[in-house]
Structure 1
Amino acid sequence: MRPSSILVLVAWLLQAGSTLGAERPGEGFDVTHYALALTPDIQNRTLSGREVITLRATKDRLRSLIFSGSALSIDSATLDGVPVVVETGEETLSIRLAEPLARGRAVRLELTYHGRPARGLSGSATSLYTSYFACDWMICAQETFGDKAAFSLALKVPVGIDTLSVGRRVARIRTSDGREIHRWTAPRPYSAYLFGFAVGRFARVEERVDARVRAARLVYLSDVADEGELRQRFAETGGIVRFFADKAGAPLPVAAYSQLLVEGREAQEAASYSVLGVEALPTRADEPSQNWAIAHELAHQWWGNLVTSATLKDFWLNEGVTTFMTAAWKEHRYGPAAYEAELAVARGRLEKARAAGFDKPLAWEGHRAAPSDRSS
């Protein structure tokens, strides 16, 4: 995740959590599977879809299912085939149950919806991609990091449009209306904030890297760069994979890892890929002072995605470890001076956080207002 966005993100989540009282999104149930079928509209930046959530009650007499709120309009909702009423608020989406659920009871919640997400969906004239706020474009609980669930996604797109999502594409089906359905499935359960997708007409480069027994496929995609630029900008990726696999004592946790190059300064990890902005990458791949984003987001595949903090108060672990591993890779690649320089940048961010009133304990459940300065 882009360092300049971390404090803003955590502040937002803490502010949201502090206003929900006893009814917090994700409380009292455990989601085992999210299955989505979405039709994104690139030009209008909207989507419509159907979502099936399989979940299990974790407390007795569960009377409501609370998810994170969004700007989506709910068209229909059923629980085990029976219609239910959905109440939407500024921070939550609530489903009141006619009869309480007993602990351990598994149910199937099915929803259809449409709309323009307020956050979490960006793009260009020829593409759409998601970034962090998954529960703005799907129904989920954003801050329940410890509740990992299986994920599958079917994207309906015009013929000729490429897609990217979590895991691997398992099917590509032509439809009677002249479009295609691309089916994706995740290799393991993940926290909801790591779900995502991208659609567009992308240049594509593939490479393979051997690291820690298992070979991995590296995929570079973009609608703002050609194949030559993709190879140049992501030339360091294979070496970074080998370094992290060696230090983690485990291979890259996914068989294929993709990097989507877009405009701007995006730097955001998803469960098996990352979104990176042109302005977040150095002009030259071997520039130590600028070369951090690829390593930082790639490190999350081990630290943050595979091993995840259970709650929001421990979220600093996701970013703290990856910040250190980025500095460690820089020392390996460029020498001790690059390591010290990277830590100096981190200390500078800490000073900015203190100046903005964020000098709080790392594991802290209080409320903090969002900072006015979002610069890194």
Structure 2
Amino acid sequence: MFPLLMIMLAAPLPGPDMRAMDRPLDPYGTGILRYSDAAHDFDVMHYDVRVQVFPQTEILECTTFVTFTPEMAGLDRIRLDLLQLAVTGVTWDGTGPISWTQYDDSLEVEFATPMDPGDTATVRVEYSGTPWNEGPGGFGGFYFQSYVFYHMGVGISTLPPSLGRVIFPCWDHPSDKASVEFTVTVPDTLYAVANGDLVSKTVNSTDATASYHWLQPQPMSTYLAAFAVSEYTVLQDSTYDWIYYFVYPWEIDDALGSFQNVDLMMDRFQSLYAPYPWQTKFSYVETPGGDMEHLTQVYHIAFAINGSTTYDWLLAHEMSHHWWGNCVTEEEWSDVWLSEGFATYSEAVWMEYYGQSSYDQYILNNIMKPYLYSGETFPLSAPSTPGELWSYTTYEKGASVLHMLRHVIGDDDFFAALAEYFDHHAYHTATTNDLRDHVENITGEDIDWFFDTWVHGWGYPVYDLDYEWEQSGSGWDVTVDLQQVQTTPTIFTMPLEFSIHGSSQDSLVVMWNDQAVQSQVFSVPFQPQSVVFDPGNKVLSTHLLGTGDGPQLPPGGVGTLRLAPNPAHFSTEVIWSGMDGSMEASLFDLAGRMLSSWELTGSERVLDLSGVPSGLYLVTVRGEGGLRQTAKLLVR
């Protein structure tokens, strides 16, 4: 998505997993919203959103024009998602009032005359109020802060996560795409930025306001629509005049340092994925929360603008969403790995700019290891709670799957498959099966074996390996005995590489492993001295951790780490289902500095927060067997 954050490249394990910033305070508690029209019998073509922001009273006064066309004959009403803001009037195509009813989370509009496919109409909705958000420690919704007012289009504690409904009436589903324009009126000392390009700025000296009119003409999902207001300084990229940076005026020097590689990232992704797919700007907008890939305007968290390139991985992640997630969008949120897994993998693709070794180290230390240490084992294709949607599985396992797929089919076919997948689904939606089909079309091979185990299967393999060799004529036979000993039900299929080392030469051999117990003999023309499994770190398994069998999972794996209460005042309790033994907890600030630590034994799992200043922190908990997860904690 969305949002995001993860381990800094400069932060060695076992530091905090900064991606926890994108996870809900309570991974199991959720605000349940619903889609107002499950049948979706109309198609929105355009949203024209006009907003006046009143910072003093934290009120939005809005008018939105929704232009749509029926997808069924005799359509006589539509329901639009709208949360908390109060509707004061609805009119039809400028001809006068029509019947409407507002519910807690939606607006139903009834037509005087039924409509048929091919007809178009525009409904004008007037509404106002204080906009909704997920509250302290949350992510999604509209926030009024002392010097910036901004919207985050995805909720991390909310199902479904789409939150376009917080600022305008819409069919708030990722599959429904429409063009969007914003006219945002603010006090004339402030600047408003929104999706697309700036059409005009109009200053009204009578009431000391300025209106900023932004237009995004290509279709986009509603969760990507947003605007932000602050005393922004607008910086233009020195390489590409269509890339901008909207930053606080006191951050200009730091911004010049932190954004210095953005043009190189853009070149990298355009060369491997496709030309930048939007006819409008690309930009980063400084906000107190983040990150979030709003279309053409990434909302970038303020503390990451620090004059260094430490957070290049984060810039790359959000930029890549403009191909994966924003342009090719998951058809349902259950396929969110097609957005977040791709963006996490794109971090490594960016690191590859610096060479193969940089890519290899990033994949291993920043993607594969954090997932393995998490203890999560649920399938990539079936997240069901907020904690699972924004999880190690969605981000790091999703990226690991793409890394392995690239290894299995080779670079040429991998990027050719991505290109075909992109070409066929750009500005529309896609599913995991669509991705699989394009891989099969490019390779000409059945790839179900890969998707069935690595995407739809549980967890990851744990290999128990034994090697023997004996002379055979003038050569040597090396026997590899393998068992998959994981406790999860999936038996994984994968071509496994073994490097057989001799005193003066080596040989790389491959076992096609699709059984729980398997043995294979390889012949080499030299006397072996050792055998190394998976020398290129191509397989997501516990051998990557260098700790024998790796983390010891309880039967069924472990749940998502939870701190309660959260927000907390003087103490909070560690709740981690499946972890019953002793644990160690560490408190970090958002710069990754450890501030406190606790040894937790038996039933005593309370963290004493006396003396901890109010603010947002990260808590990393390490359990028996090498497992560890990170959660965010809000101290009030």
**TM-score, length basis structure 1:** 0.84
**2:175 is equivalent to residue 146 of structure 1:** yes
The amino acid of 1:161's aligned partner reads: L
Residue 203 of structure 1 contacts residue 223 of structure 1 at CA under 8 Å; is this kept in 2?
yes
* Residues 276-325 of structure 1: per-residue CA shift (max 9 Å, x gap): 1134x3856344xx542211111111111122223334332111211111
Cα distance in 2 for partners of 1:276, 1:369 equals 22
**2:234 is equivalent to residue 204 of structure 1:** yes
**2:156 is equivalent to residue 156 of structure 1:** no
1:192: Cα distance to partner?
A: 1.1
1:36: Cα distance to partner?
A: 1.6
Aligned to 2:324: 303
Cα distance in 1 for partners of 2:151, 2:386 equals 25
Aligned to 1:239: 264
Cα distance in 2 for partners of 1:275, 1:343 equals 23
Aligned to 2:118: 104
Residue 324 of structure 2 contacts residue 339 of structure 2 at CA under 8 Å; is this kept in 1?
yes
* Residues 324-349 of structure 1: per-residue CA shift (max 9 Å, x gap): 11122123334421232222366259
Q: Indicate the larger mover: 160-169 or 303-312.
A: 303-312
Aligned to 1:212: none
Cα distance in 2 for partners of 1:15, 1:349 equals 30
Find 1:37's aligned residue among 50, 54, 58. Answer: 50
The amino acid of 1:142's aligned partner reads: D
Aligned to 1:194: 224
Change in Cα spacing, 1:77 to 1:346, as seen in structure 2 (3 Å) is: farther
Aligned to 1:74: 87
Aligned to 2:308: 285
Aligned to 2:381: 362
The amino acid of 2:109's aligned partner reads: I
Cα distance in 2 for partners of 1:105, 1:93 equals 21
Cα distance in 2 for partners of 1:248, 1:350 equals 30
Aligned to 2:129: 115
Q: Indicate the larger mover: 332-341 or 318-327.
A: 332-341
1:139: Cα distance to partner?
A: 1.0
Structure 1 segments unaligned to the other structure (5+ residues): 210-214
Q: How does 1:205-284 map to 2 (within 5 A)?
A: 205-209=235-239, 215-223=240-248, 225-251=250-276, 253-264=278-289, 266-279=290-303, 281=304
The amino acid of 1:227's aligned partner reads: I
1:66: Cα distance to partner?
A: 1.4
Residue 180 of structure 2 contacts residue 216 of structure 2 at CA under 8 Å; is this kept in 1?
yes
Aligned to 1:24: 37
Residue 165 of structure 1 contacts residue 198 of structure 1 at CA under 8 Å; is this kept in 2?
yes
1:159: Cα distance to partner?
A: 1.9
1:229: Cα distance to partner?
A: 0.9
Q: Any idea what SS the aligned residue of 2:344 has?
A: helix
Q: Any idea what SS the aligned residue of 2:219 has?
A: coil
Find 1:174's aligned residue among 194, 203, 215. Answer: 203
Which of 1 and 2 has greater Rg? 2
Residue 2 of structure 1 contacts residue 293 of structure 1 at CA under 8 Å; is this kept in 2?
no
1:86: Cα distance to partner?
A: 2.9
Cα distance in 1 for partners of 2:334, 2:222 equals 17
Residue 27 of structure 2 contacts residue 386 of structure 2 at CA under 8 Å; is this kept in 1?
no
Cα distance in 2 for partners of 1:207, 1:223 equals 16
Residue 73 of structure 1 contacts residue 113 of structure 1 at CA under 8 Å; is this kept in 2?
yes
Residue 52 of structure 1 contacts residue 109 of structure 1 at CA under 8 Å; is this kept in 2?
yes
1:117: Cα distance to partner?
A: 1.0
Higher RCO structure, 1 or 2 (CA under 8 Å, sep 6+):
1
RMSD, matched Cα: 3.0
1:7: Cα distance to partner?
A: 6.6
The amino acid of 1:362's aligned partner reads: S
Q: Any idea what SS the aligned residue of 2:257 has?
A: helix
Structure 2 segments unaligned to the other structure (5+ residues): 5-19, 134-140, 154-162, 389-559, 564-630
Aligned to 1:85: 99
Change in Cα spacing, 1:199 to 1:286, as seen in structure 2 (3 Å) is: closer
The amino acid of 2:340's aligned partner reads: E
